[in-house]
Structure 1
Amino acid sequence: MRSKNEPSGQKRSFIEEVRREQIIAAAIETIAAVGFPRASLARIAATAGVSKGVISYHFAGKDELVDQVVTTVYTDIADTILPGILEQETATDILRAHVTGVAEYALAHPDRLRTVTEIFVHARGADGTPRYGVVAAEPLYESLEGLYREGQRNGELRVFDPRVMAVTQQAGIDAMFGYWLAHPDTDLLAHARELADLFVRAIRPD
């Protein structure tokens, strides 16, 4: 996503990219520390050690910065867990790798998980509706549906509505993280393994 203040089609310099990454990292740190509502551009600028004007030069506003934070975190999650998922051969093993993989990522990067959770809960569009929500989760649903349909085609999985299962699985993962953030002493990996077992039992023919 490119700031409205940048000329269309202009390639950013290495220094500009580094500065944007610095601001994104500061936004993650600030939102994780004080929550989304209190994470003003001025606070984020102070965390980054730059002026608010520097942020405005690179991002059109808080919404654009937040969008880039979410994109950065989700891209990093995908890049981190995808190799482990690709090693799996069955739909059920892929499901387990997905659920436990995101839990392992959260344990390694708790500030990132807290930040996107804050954004999803509090960020609102101009009309007051959630900026992120069910509509924003569509790519996740479609990906899970593809996995389920392939497992159904090869006979590994029972017949069920892939969309219902995709929504249920993602909701279970979101709830797992919400519970963990509220109760940080929870064994997140144990929770993830149990959750994966529940989903596997729900989709297998037996």
Structure 2
Amino acid sequence: MSQAETGLTGRQRQREQTRAQILEAAANAFAGAGFDAASLADIAAQAGVKKALVQYHFSTKEQLWRAAALQIWQQRNDALAMQLGDAAGGELASRMREGFTALVEFTCEQPHWLWFMFHEAAAQGERQKWLIEHCMQEDYRLGELFVIEFQRQGLIRAGSPLHLLHLISGALTYNLLVAPSTLVATGTDLASPEAIREQVRLLQELLAP
């Protein structure tokens, strides 16, 4: 329990716990159905609370969607920072491998972050603009810096950092999206630890100059 949480009263802790349950349910609902199809009633049911309680914490569906987006991206960033922090000071190839692995492992645990993004990434509208401004713009900036740094160190081939970033991101996440179908069709579990290690190894070899 964090210091902030230890200073809360029982009622405040319950309020925060309820809010967290609602956000988790909202993230899953928006990822699965998209903003328009996801209803506050469905989200309340998934969270195990009444719809009125959802509206108490979040006055509009738009506000709930934004809060869910920020939470998903924060969870992902925290997971990446933790794993990359553990790899700090190691050899460069190992640090790159840890960065790739961290993204794959988080996506395995929280696949809804990709679906949440996909629902808005191809759409034209205010939610897409908001998501880019508050979440994705920084992803692009940091992702390109990641590629440029490893290009300078001789671990990633020359080429457009933005194009390489998208190729890397696709290679690390697409396999997980089709993993259930691949398992049924071929008997190979692309989401297993062994498969993830092999995919990361092959990606590093493909990226090498």
The verdict on a shared fold, with TM-score over 0.5 as the criterion, is: yes
1:96-107 counterparts in 2 under 5 A?
96-107=97-108
Separation in 2 of the partners of 1:26 and 1:157? 39
Separation in 2 of the partners of 1:204 and 1:125? 31
Matching of residue 171 in structure 1 with residue 175 in structure 2: no
Tell me how large the CA RMSD over aligned residues is. Answer: 3.5
What letter is aligned with 1:187? Answer: L
Separation in 1 of the partners of 2:29 and 2:139? 27
The structure where helix makes up a greater share of residues is 2
1:114-129 counterparts in 2 under 5 A?
115-123=112-120
Q: Is the 8 A contact 2:41 2:51 kept in 1?
A: yes
Query: Number of paired residues?
Result: 188
Separation in 1 of the partners of 2:124 and 2:177? 26
Q: Is the 8 A contact 1:103 1:192 kept in 2?
A: yes
Match of 1:93 in 2: 94
1:146-157 counterparts in 2 under 5 A?
146-157=145-156
Separation in 2 of the partners of 1:134 and 1:44? 20
Separation in 2 of the partners of 1:155 and 1:94? 14
Matching of residue 52 in structure 1 with residue 51 in structure 2: yes
Instruction: Give the CA deviation at 1:129.
Output: 8.0
Identity of aligned residues (%): 22
Separation in 1 of the partners of 2:129 and 2:182? 24
Counterpart pick for 1:187 among 178, 190, 206:
190
Q: Which moved more, 1:176-185 or 1:129-138?
A: 129-138
For CA contacts below 8 A with separation 6 or more, give which structure has more relative contact order: 1
TM-score normalised by length of structure 2: 0.69
Q: Which moved more, 1:37-46 or 1:163-172?
A: 37-46
Separation in 2 of the partners of 1:184 and 1:53? 41
Separation in 1 of the partners of 2:163 and 2:82? 27
1:57-96 counterparts in 2 under 5 A?
57-86=56-85, 87-88=87-88, 89-96=90-97
Any gaps of 5 or more consecutive residues in structure 2?
A: 1-11
Separation in 2 of the partners of 1:163 and 1:176? 21
Secondary structure (helix, strand or coil) at the match of 2:158 reads coil
Runs of 4+ aligned residues of structure 1 deviating over 6 Å after TM superposition are none
Q: Is the 8 A contact 2:73 2:113 kept in 1?
A: no
